[in-house]
Amino acid sequence: MFGIGFPEMIVILVLIVLVVGPEQLPDVARKGVSFIKEAKRHIAEIKTEVDKQTEPLRKPFEEMVENADKDSNADIARSRFDKEASEGGKKAGEEQA
């Protein structure tokens, strides 16, 4: 989490206890938890709104990618077929000679 390890977390918690004091620590913890919950809720709302706004753009893009995949697969199959056909022609020519 943010590149903070367990020892750093312990130091941060000790500093919070020293600054806030043990009497006010439960209130500060509750406020911190409620702040995190609100932030998560707002982020989810923003993500939903962005998804709604980008949906018309996403569908044509996904179709374009899907068609490109089909085209590239067809090109791969065609090149393999051409390679096998040319190798088959060489083998047939070698057998006749």
Domain boundaries, the chain: 53-97
Residue 80 has pLDDT above 80, yes or no: no
Q: So what's the pLDDT on residue 57? A: 82
- pLDDT above 70 as % of the chain: 70
Q: Is 25 exposed, middle or buried (0-12, 13-18, 19+ CB in 10 A)?
A: middle
DSSP state of 4: -
Residue 68 has pLDDT above 90, yes or no: no
Q: So what's the pLDDT on residue 91? A: 52
